[in-house]
């Protein structure tokens, strides 16, 4: 079986197991290790309140080499004060001890309930147990992907193969995300591994661009969590000449990374809490890119649009209403809207269209809404998903 | 039976009936008439896309005297181009003919599906029929309140009595609102009548203030419709000396108007689509009032908070997450949160509290969430309601 997990690139070992943080006993502790030391980069939530894990990880990722990442689900270690901070450091310490690294060479990430102290002894014991099971097998990678799940219904992973300077290079990723996903950091938790050789600043740049044009374009309920973290580790073991500038080899790497992250973002949208469909919103003809972004997000976040998509209803009036409410410049006489390639509203007036065809388009697993504001030349896009009764059930019952 | 409808103030007649715009045959056409001519004021949606009715009403309300308001539900007459504009004028014309006024002395409002042409002959015939049934009876007022309903489960009305210069003065209102209600114009459709005597500029000022501090504080799904309209008509028949300045009599009038509008806003929140509970969000300690408003709205609009309220779950972590995500200045070390009077988070750390008591608070029909940002002295508030599976059912099935 081909390895399609984060252990696919050369130089990475992983493990995942249940250590009892989740009362259900499900897998909740993951460990990712690069024994040779990896170049690391990370991007984090822009929420003003950040989890203890984010605060610690933000410091540790500055280390020249990263040897391990410890991650847990079931407890976010957010809003937990100084004790939470100490617990996040303890988790790094446990992993550092087992892989022979310094504490600041270990990253940490958490997801789950906010405001409860981490049962840190369980986490430390779990890290110790995971260290004993580290492997580069596909199963180990899958166990890690399972360890980061909360309300996700399935592990989400992807792999890309590319050639750089005649050598095979692999990039792999595992992501979790369900609710609480908003643009500007739509990750929740994303872990990427690669055996490419690339400098730290370029690794950071590639990660920022890839996340910015994929996961950050995804909105499930319009908010950013306190814990959103994306980590990219590069082992440099693929054996090619290191990427040290924005040369064609960098662009090959960055392109593959974006493609991988887009794949993961689509998996996230289709596995968002209760979601059954996803859609892309493209806004063209905006006065500025910022306004294009804002208008696209207004459509994708609008509960009435999300409900209409759920119902397979080509209710374009709600799309126009959302755009009008976004506070962006538009020309009412030029405003147009398409569902896939079907015009439903053109130059400020309803278009004549085949309603059955429109219903078929909106009832697909994925479709594209294109809005032209008629106010300029800027454009942007985002991804959204439908709003379902299941979303409400999940979030009314998920317990504190 | 005391008259608690918009025909309660002296000088107003109303009617409501079904004219066939709604395929269900339900009441969908309302007519409100002030035979002696009323001073009129109105505020409208800030959506960049406005309905034909809003465009026409915005012009007509400039008239010195208003004699009638024609209103329909079942069709929003929005995104309907020039033909829609002509239809809105035709509706005014039909009412003007029957009450002996000029077209521009008649206001018009519509609510319902966006993007379909108004079946204008039905509306015109309905206005004619309504003109034959005009009455100042409570039943006529109730029929008018029913004529503006869409997914509302019940008519929403309120009346206030006050004394000005030794005379009895009455203010009454009917409102419709369900989904698509966002701050800055949370009305959908609001009709207010009074027999107070007050100048047009002061009437407008009182309306703007009252709506700004009541209906505009309400958010159901965070968006403004293309049709939101609030109209206040004053017949001046109460016989008191006219209010011509911001004197104590003005403040008495404005205070009663705000109290009335707050009552209507609460009725709207509790009758929002699928809603079973409402809550008030108070933000204190903000750097600016704008930031207080933004933070309050971020909490009230956050689907995860709305779901937690639905589940009766004191999930304060989601409140803190929403505040952190609002992009406002805050001091993480001073940030505090109360549910009614119970601290759940204090000075940046979880508070010890009685969980059963917290659950009881959140399970009430109404409760208050208070957040202190610890960043300044400004404050503001808003009203929200829970998010339920019923909201999704209503909006996935409401058909184009």
Q: Does B356 touch chain A (CB under 8 A)?
A: no
What's the pLDDT tens digit per position in A52-88?
999 999 999 999 999 999 999 999 999 888 999 999 9
Q: Write down the pLDDT at residue B397.
A: 67
Mind giving me the DSSP string for A25-63?
Answer: ----EEEEEEEEEEEEEEEE---SS--HHHHHHHHHTTS
Closest CA to B207 of B226, B191, B218, B183: B191
Does domain B278-397 fall under CATH 3.30.420.10? My reply is: no
Written as six digits, the tokens of B220 are 């159901």
User: ipTM of the predicted structure?
Assistant: 0.76
What is the average pLDDT across B52-59?
96
- Categorize the per-residue pLDDT at B188 as very low, low, confident or very high, splitting at 50, 70 and 90: confident
Q: Most distant CA pair in chain A: distance in Å?
A: 68
What is the average pLDDT across A367-390?
94
Torsion from C-alpha of B220, B226, B228, B234, nearest 10 degrees:
180
Shortest Cα–Cα distance, A170 to chain B (Å) = 35
Shortest Cα–Cα distance, A8 to chain B (Å) = 35
What's the pLDDT tens digit per position in A136-195?
999 999 999 999 998 888 999 999 999 999 999 999 999 997 654 444 433 479 999 999
Asked if B137 and B12 count as a contact pair (C-beta separation under 8 A), the reply is no
Asked if B267 and B278 count as a contact pair (C-beta separation under 8 A), the reply is no
Q: Where are the domains of chain A?
A: 13-270, 278-397
Q: Does B351 touch chain A (CB under 8 A)?
A: no
Q: Does B214 touch chain A (CB under 8 A)?
A: no
Q: Does A87 touch chain B (CB under 8 A)?
A: no
Strand arrangement of the beta sheet that strand B336-339 belongs to? B349-350, B342-346, B336-339, B366-372, B278-286, B378-385
- Selected catalytic residue, list B5, B39, B187, B262: B187
Selected residue of A48, A55, A375 to mutate for chain B interface (largest B Cβ count, 10 A): A48
pLDDT of residue B163 exceeding 60, the answer is yes
Does domain B13-270 fall under CATH 3.60.70.12? My reply is: yes
Torsion from C-alpha of A18, A19, A20, A21, nearest 10 degrees:
-100
Q: Write down the pLDDT at residue B108.
A: 98
What angle do helix axes A200-212 and A248-270 make, rounded to 10 degrees? 40
Closest CA to B36 of B124, B136, B175, B130: B136
pLDDT of residue B183 exceeding 70, the answer is no
Give A399's contacts in chain B (Cβ within 8 Å). Answer: 313, 315
Q: For residues A366 and A384, give the distance between their C-alpha atoms in angstroms, rounded to a whole number.
A: 10
How deeply is B291 buried, as exposed, middle or buried, from its count of CB atoms within 10 A (0-12, 13-18, 19+)? buried
Q: Does B349 touch chain A (CB under 8 A)?
A: yes
Q: Write down the pLDDT at residue A47.
A: 86
Phi-psi map region of B327: left, alpha, beta (phi>0 left; psi -120 to 50 alpha): left
Q: For residues A345 and A322, give the distance between their C-alpha atoms in angstroms, rounded to a whole number.
A: 14
* Residue in B with minimal Cα distance to A113: B317
Is A323 in contact with B49 (Cβ distance < 8 A)? yes
User: Of A109-113, A300-304, A374-378, which has the strongest mean pLDDT?
Assistant: A374-378
Q: What is the mean pLDDT of chain A?
A: 92
Q: Does B392 touch chain A (CB under 8 A)?
A: yes
What is the average pLDDT across B83-89?
96
- Which of A302, A310, A392 shows the shortest C-beta gap to B387? A392
Residues of chain A above pLDDT 70, percent: 95
Shortest Cα–Cα distance, B194 to chain A (Å) = 31
pLDDT of residue A48 exceeding 60, the answer is yes
Catalytic residue numbers of A?
Answer: 187
Asked if A66 and A233 count as a contact pair (C-beta separation under 8 A), the reply is yes
Q: Does A313 touch chain B (CB under 8 A)?
A: yes
Mind giving me the DSSP string for B308-320?
Answer: HHHTT---HHHHH
Shortest Cα–Cα distance, A117 to chain B (Å) = 9
Phi, psi (rounded to 5 degrees) for B121? -65, -40
Asked if B160 and B171 count as a contact pair (C-beta separation under 8 A), the reply is yes
Q: Write down the pLDDT at residue B304.
A: 84
- Window A:126-165, CB contacts with B under 8 Å: none
Helix H or strand E segment including B157: strand B156-164
User: SS3 sequence, A327-350?
Assistant: CCCCCCCCCEEEECCEEEEECCEE
What's the pLDDT tens digit per position in B266-317?
998 888 778 889 999 999 999 999 999 999 999 998 888 998 999 999 989 8
How deeply is A377 buried, as exposed, middle or buried, from its count of CB atoms within 10 A (0-12, 13-18, 19+)? exposed
- Which of A307, A389, A396 shows the shortest C-beta gap to B311? A396
- Window B:179-198, CB contacts with A under 8 Å: 179-180, 182
Q: What is the mean pLDDT of chain B?
A: 92
């Amino acid at each position: 079986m081909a390895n399609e997990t984060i252990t696919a690139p050369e130089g990475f070992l992983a493990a995942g197991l249940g250590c009892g943080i989740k009362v259900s006993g499900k897998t909740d502790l993951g460990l990712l290790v690069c024994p040779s030391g990896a170049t690391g980069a990370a991007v984090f939530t822009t929420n003003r309140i950040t989890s203890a894990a984010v605060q610690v990880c933000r410091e540790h990722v500055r280390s020249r080499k990263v040897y391990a990442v410890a991650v847990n689900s079931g407890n976010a270690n957010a809003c937990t004060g100084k004790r939470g901070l100490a617990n996040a450091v303890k988790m790094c310490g446990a992993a550092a001890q087992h892989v022979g690294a310094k504490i600041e060479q270990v990253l940490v990430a958490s997801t789950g309930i906010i405001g409860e102290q981490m049962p840190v002894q369980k986490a430390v014991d779990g890290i110790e147990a995971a260290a004993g099971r580290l492997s580069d097998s596909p199963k180990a990678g899958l166990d890690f992907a399972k360890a980061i799940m909360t309300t996700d219904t399935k592990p989400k992973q992807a792999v890309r193969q590319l050639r750089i300077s005649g050598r095979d290079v692999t990039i792999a990723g595992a992501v979790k995300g369900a609710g609480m996903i908003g643009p500007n950091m739509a990750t929740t938790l994303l872990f990427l591994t690669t055996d490419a050789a690339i400098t730290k600043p370029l690794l950071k740049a590639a990660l920022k661009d890839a996340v910015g044009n994929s996961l950050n374009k995804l909105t499930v309920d319009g908010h950013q969590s306190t814990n959103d973290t994306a980590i990219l580790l590069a082992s440099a073991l693929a054996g090619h000449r290191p990427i040290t500038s924005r040369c064609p080899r960098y662009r090959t790497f960055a392109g593959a990374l974006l493609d991988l992250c887009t794949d993961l973002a689509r998996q996230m949208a289709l596995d968002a809490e209760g979601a059954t469909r996803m859609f892309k919103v493209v806004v063209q003809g905006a006065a500025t890119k910022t306004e294009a972004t804002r208008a696209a997000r207004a459509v994708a976040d609008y509960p009435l649009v999300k409900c209409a998509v759920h119902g397979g209803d080509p209710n374009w009036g709600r799309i126009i209403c959302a755009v009008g409410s976004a506070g962006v410049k538009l020309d009412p006489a030029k405003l147009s809207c398409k569902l896939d390639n079907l015009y439903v509203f053109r130059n400020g007036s309803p278009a004549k269209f085949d309603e059955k065809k429109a219903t078929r388009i909106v009832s697909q697993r994925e479709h594209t809404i294109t809005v032209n504001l008629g106010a300029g030349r800027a454009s942007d896009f985002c991804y959204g998903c439908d709003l379902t009764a299941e979303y409400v059930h999940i979030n009314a019952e998920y317990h504190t």
